[in-house]
A and B are shown apart, each in its own frame.
Chain A
Amino acid sequence: MKPISLILITLLPFAVVGCGGAKPEASQPAPAAAAELAPAANHIALSPAQLKAADIELATAGPANLRETLPLYGAIAANAERMREVTARYPGAIQSVTRKIGDAVVEGDTLATVESNESLQSYAVKAPLAGVITARTANVGQQTGDKPLFVVADLSTVWVELSLFPRDAVKVRVGQNARVKSPDVGFAADGRVTYVAPFGSSTSQTLTARVQLDNSQRRWAPGLYVTAELTLAERKVPLTIRKTAIQMLADSPVVFVQGASGFEARPVKLGRSDGEVTEVLDGLKAGETYAAANSYVLKAEALKSEAAED
């Protein structure tokens, strides 16, 4: 379990500091305690040439925008609020049909003419909204019956129906931004969460979240599968580091901070992360320089010295 139990013992004091925060006065004792207990792990002096040879990149801890995201799978559906079934107002025989499936219509376009059975007057069945004919049962000579003659869908906006699993459901709220990508075609668009279903499905154990997307380009065809990345939270965080800087030492996270006498392994308490940048809650001050990339070399050096000097 523990890599090297002695390291664990040496690092235990600041692991407590880093994770617990139980002691209020323990905001900065870590370096002092560390210097006393594990000098080797805390001062890895490397010359600029060595840094360069080892490809260690330095960065300064500071504020950054943290975008917490949640990737989800879903499918495009037509906007149900912008879909109309067009029925004949008065039952009758269809005299002419002027639009076929796939035709774009604007509001007021005549779709068909029907001769009322009662008045024997012909009247025009008009498009109730601008959109596309997605279904047509109307053919010349037929009786209209109760069935819809046409379905007109306004595809200028579409819905993305996303499946939320219980763990994710609590994080998702109406109004969150979503970036929707089509895996096949490769284009993407931004939308907002407009609805989170209050009911779940007992069979699939999922909730549905809905994102409305602008589809004026007609690129999103209902029925296609897409992936979506929800921005759960986006905020400016005062103290962040790059995620690649974090190394695990004795099962707790540390960052290698450059000091006057070299790098020290500083135990840190981490906050949220977005995959690129991670928030630091404790253990680091803004403006400190840390090893941002290839910090593994420093970990290797730290553990090596430990092993050799035990």
Chain B
Amino acid sequence: MIDSLLRFSINRRWIVLFLAAALGALGIWNYQRLPIDAVPDITNVQVQINARAPGYTPLETESRVTFPIEAGMGGIPGLHSFRSISKYGLAQVTAVFEDGTDLYFARQLVNERLQGVREQLPAGIELEMGPAATGLGEIFMYVVEAKPDARKPDGTAYDAMDLRTIQDWTIRPQLRQVPGVSEVDGIGGYTRQFHVLPDPSRMLSFGLTLDDIEEALRTSNGNVGAGYIETNGEQNLVRVPGQLAGVEDLRNVVVASRDGIPVRISDVADVATGRPLRTGAAQLGSDQTVLCTAFMRVGENSRTVSLAVSAKLAEINKRLPPGVQASPVYNRTDLVNKTIATVQKNLLEGAILVLAVLLLMLGNVRAALLTAMVIPLSMLMLMTSMVQTRVSANLMSLGALDFGLIVDGAVIIVENCIRRLAERQHHLGRLLSIEERFHEVYAATREVFTPSLISVLVVILVNLPLLALTGVEGKMFRPMALTVILALVAALVLSLTFVPAATALLLSGRIEEKDNLLVRWAKRAYAPLLGFAIRFRLAVAAAALVLVLACGWLTTRMGTEFIPQLDEGDIVILVNRIPGIGLEQAVAMQKGLQTALMKHPELQRVFSRTGTNDAATDPMSPGETDTFFMLKPHKEWPDPKKDKATLLAEIDATLATVPGMLYEFSQPIEMRFNELIAGVRAALAVKIYGDDFDELARLSQRAASIIAAVPGAEGVKAEAISGLPTLTILPRREALARFGLKLATVQQTIATAVGGTEAGQIFEGDARFDVVVRLPEHLRTDTAALERLPVALPGGGYVPLSELAQIQLASGANQISRENGKRRVVVTANAGERDLGGFVSDVRGKLEGDLALPPGYYIEYGGTFEQLQSAAQRLTMLVPITLLMIFALLLMTFGSVRDAALVFSGVPLALTGGVLALLIRGIPLSITAGVGFITLSGVAVLTGVVMVSAIRSRLEAGEGIDAAIREGAMLRLRPILMVALVAALGFLPMALNTGTGAEVQRPLATVVIGGIISATLLTLLVLPGLYRMAWRPMLDTTVLPVDAQDVPQ
């Protein structure tokens, strides 16, 4: 089959070349459709359910809202786990589904259950599902701002409420139309409301209650359609309008009539547009602003969507009132472009280096170019297959591609073709005829077919374990392995069809038989070394063994991390203030913080969001602020050479001068990922489960102090589950009875007085604004005034609230987190400079020893380290299997355990170089580095196969063992050096690049380069010696196993 394929390729070369070109064109077309992102989306399949419970305290939220929702989620097919947070006015339940569940199917299931749950919830609870977005969803942020001199039509300046209204009713509806956008959410500013603020004393004088006012507003504000009548054959619709239009209309609503005189709203209350009790605020620079986020729908192409949003926003901007505009502050495209630019640069430079090596070593421009052609062609074929397999192009998926590896197979084939064509020409002393040329090409290809097939098979094989990874690490590394495998398969197909065809076609002229200067030098240097290595083979082998053992020991001393963190270029400062802080206080303190940050010359803009956004996708408390510190491009910095660590240290110094907060550094995507995966934003999350709230609080404090004592612990934080000051107004039932009041009446009066009660809506075009009845600000914010709140009595008259209820201030639950139906508290920590793996095991040891848990309480560990652990576990199982498979492959090839073992010995030797390279560069072990080792073992086996098969063919030809080894080694010096050089140089730009995203690829490239250097040296020096040792004693008695495929023509 192989023979006929090769013959076909050579005989029908034009067809083959045409097909290759067609595949290339298909690839170019698919490239346009390829989803491109910065990083793979690692979010699990989850559905968020947000329930707004206005005015509910955390405890009430938990028992009245969260619990029924959680109960309703039980038994949904495919449900993996669920967790919930109950906060002031908000319950959020996150249902996590098994990987592979279709998100829309999951949402459908959840929605079905929610129908049933709705009936069990108290009235007034709004239940909805979060946007169908993932952790990568926050692709675009903008602020709505007005120029200082911009004026509204009535001549006044725009305030935060006007801007918010423009966002809610002008910008948002249009942006939501953009394809791929799932939600556009705002935070900050003030939603416009119409406030009716009754004065208690005036209400008393008319004998009116808050209820009366609400009732009056409700019943005086509506349009009614009354059917139609037919008059003389004509149909007349009947309508009875009564919709209130604004402040003036509200004032004139009649509440009651006293002695025939109407009492209007304006007689008992002030009416004004006002601010709601907001849960979130946003700030840009030192001002408050309206910050909006566009969420991308799951599975969309972030670059396309953010470009579309950006374009739409520019279009909307043209239609906004003069002086008002929406300015982008964060655009995912920037990051994607930067990372893709890094990847492109790496790949391009790698390709150029590979081409240079080919030119130098082959000494034949045509051969070098046609070999290099494999690179773009296999890339384009890869694009097609990536689109087909729905793998997006990103740092990770393109991160392990090495053009050196891709062309390896082709290099071996072309090199052999050139050698044989040159030899033949030399032998005949003339140019070859077409038939002769074709035959030589065929024979040459056939001769090295096995090594090149093995090389590709081995690299594919070593990548297979990565495909078996699951969870987050699977989402990270499966695409990586998949692209490598796809690219290699493409390259393999090309080297068996396109390469021979092109070689046969192009290498028609005179071919230089001599090695070029470089190879001659290499050979001259190699010959004595080889002799030396064979003579002192025992010492060399022993030294190699020592090296392997030493490196093995070194790996146990090295740090570990999951994957190197992508430097997104922007900084997020996660600010945490004490629980119980009011939103406006937090905003005031945040203003001080941002003013302090603005002195950094590297800052382009700083903006922040405090508290919970409207869609409640991220239920932060008012004490929590995400501060986005957007950097200028490096070249605009006063000192463009300053690295990020220095800048972070400087920012850290600035932050230390601002009192009243804790902070940690993160990045926009990093922050979301950490949060969405484990529900926490830190590398390590210690979850303590239990029932009693106080006990959990105590345990979490204790755990936090234990963890803080572990070396390297940074940002240790116990979840602030309590500390929310709660004003409890405890009704005294006997007093209620004495005054003849109902409990609900009192409760409702307090709710209306403090929180306000919605009493209808005012329409302005499409926009609608709530009408809210609540006490004037100076009364509702003053505890003493609240005690005096007059409660109307059924028989007329009033009684102050303090007569009816006890008012006490105490700190209560801040938020209640549950996981899988059980209360839990989380202590989070980061490892700082320390490696995560060691840190986590230290923490575990300490906690198991020092934290005494009462019965029924237990600890679980989570956070990003979880992925490291599960990946490590899976790989420890899979890597040996893979190594076994490689060995089996080698055994099949050589038919000899000894040869297979010899080739295999290259693997540990190759790993030493990788370990040393990591050590030299100070990079910890990570899954990414692990992938490098995997790739490395492929290359090591490849060079070994090339070497051993050459020696074997010499032996079969009847040469003596020493001669065979020496000749074989010298003969294969060029291909081995080439394979090593192309593979190493192909990765060189990746190892040295400093662009955005380079840090993610650096460990992989470093391992491969270091490993290839050691693997090549050892293949060239140790392997011949080992071969000699292995075969020497048996040469006289044993007939070498003969592999039919290896017999030269």
Contacts and interface: CB of A to CB of B under 8 A. Distances in A.
Interface stretch (A107-115, A211-219, A230-238, A291-299): A291-299
A203 B795 contact: yes
Contact of B659 (A50, A166, A226): A50
In this complex, the member of A163, A184, A307 whose beta carbon has the largest number of chain B beta carbons within 10 angstroms is A307
Contacts of B798: 73
Contacts of B812: 1
A100 to B, nearest CB: 22
Interface residues of B, number: 54
A307 B803 contact: no
B658 A300 contact: no
A251 B728 CA distance: 14
B811 A297 contact: no
Contacts of A297: 589, 659-660
A47 B788 CA distance: 42
Contacts of B570: none
B592 A304 contact: no
Nearest to A224: B205
A205 B799 contact: yes
B254 interface: no
A163 B658 CA distance: 51
Given A183-B199, A225-B204, A299-B578, A304 B660 contact: yes
Contacts of A224: 205
Chain B contact residues: helix, strand, loop or mixed: mixed
A165 B800 contact: yes
A261 interface: no
Interface in A146-173: 163, 165-167
Interface string B692-714: 00100110010011001000000
Interface in A1-21: 1-6
B705 A310 contact: yes
A204 B793 CA distance: 9
A95 to B, nearest CB: 35
Interface string A171-203: 000000000000110000000000000000001
A5 B700 CA distance: 10
B596 A53 contact: yes
B328 interface: no
A57 to B, nearest CB: 13
B202 A184 contact: yes
A307 B717 contact: yes
B480 interface: no
A239 B474 CA distance: 68
A308 interface: yes
B989 interface: no
B662 A308 contact: yes
B202 to A, nearest CB: 5
B658 A53 contact: yes
A163 B204 CA distance: 12
Contacts of A5: 694, 697-698, 701
Contacts of A3: 578-580, 722-723, 811
Contacts of A299: 578, 660
Interface string A272-304: 000100000000000000000010111111011
A54 B812 CA distance: 27
Interface string A29-70: 000000000000000101100100111000000000000000
A167 B717 CA distance: 46
Contacts of A75: 205
A308 B659 CA distance: 13
Given A3-B811, A300-B577, A53 B595 contact: yes
A54 B202 contact: no
Contacts of A53: 592, 595-596, 658
Nearest to B814: A3
Nearest to A71: B788
A181 to B, nearest CB: 9
Contacts of B784: 275
Contacts of A275: 784
Contacts of A80: none
B388 interface: no
Interface string B789-802: 01001010111101
A121 to B, nearest CB: 43
B243 interface: no
In this complex, the member of A47, A294, A296 whose beta carbon has the largest number of chain B beta carbons within 10 angstroms is A296
A166 to B, nearest CB: 7
Contact of A44 (B659, B716, B799): B659
Nearest to B785: A71
B662 A251 contact: no
A183 B201 CA distance: 7
B722 A1 contact: yes
Contacts of B790: 73
Contact of A46 (B581, B659, B810): B659
B1049 interface: no
Contact of B739 (A47, A50, A205): A205
A162 to B, nearest CB: 12
Contact of B578 (A46, A203, A303, A309): A303
Interface in B179-206: 199-202, 204-205
B725 A183 contact: no
B701 A50 contact: no
B738 interface: yes
A300 B795 contact: no
Interface in B202-250: 202, 204-205
B661 interface: yes
Contacts of B199: 183
Interface in B699-748: 701, 704-705, 708, 716-718, 722-723, 725, 738-739
A300 B697 contact: no
A187 B465 CA distance: 85
A244 interface: no
A298 B660 contact: yes
A139 interface: no
Contacts of A96: none
Nearest to B586: A300
B1038 interface: no
B585 interface: yes
In this complex, the member of A166, A183, A226 whose beta carbon has the largest number of chain B beta carbons within 10 angstroms is A183
Contacts of A303: 578
A4 B660 CA distance: 16
B579 A227 contact: no
B657 interface: yes
B539 interface: no
Interface in B944-967: none
A50 B798 CA distance: 49
B660 A204 contact: no
Nearest to A181: B201
Contact of A55 (B579, B588, B738, B800): B588
B708 A310 contact: yes
A248 interface: yes
Given A2-B697, A53-B596, A204-B797, A73 B738 contact: no
A298 B701 contact: no
Contacts of A71: 785, 788
A167 B802 contact: yes
Contacts of B657: 47, 50
B186 to A, nearest CB: 27
A54 B659 contact: yes
Contacts of B589: 54, 297, 300
Contacts of A163: 797
B445 to A, nearest CB: 68
A226 B790 CA distance: 14
Interface of A: 1-6, 44, 46-47, 50, 53-55, 71, 73, 75, 163, 165-167, 183-184, 203-205, 224-227, 248, 251, 275, 294, 296-301, 303-304, 307-310
8 contacts: A2-B722, A54-B592, A184-B202, A248-B725, A300-B589, A304-B660, A307-B718, A310-B705
Given A227-B201, A300-B661, A308-B662, 10 more contacts: A2-B722, A5-B697, A53-B658, A71-B788, A73-B204, A73-B798, A75-B205, A205-B738, A294-B588, A297-B659
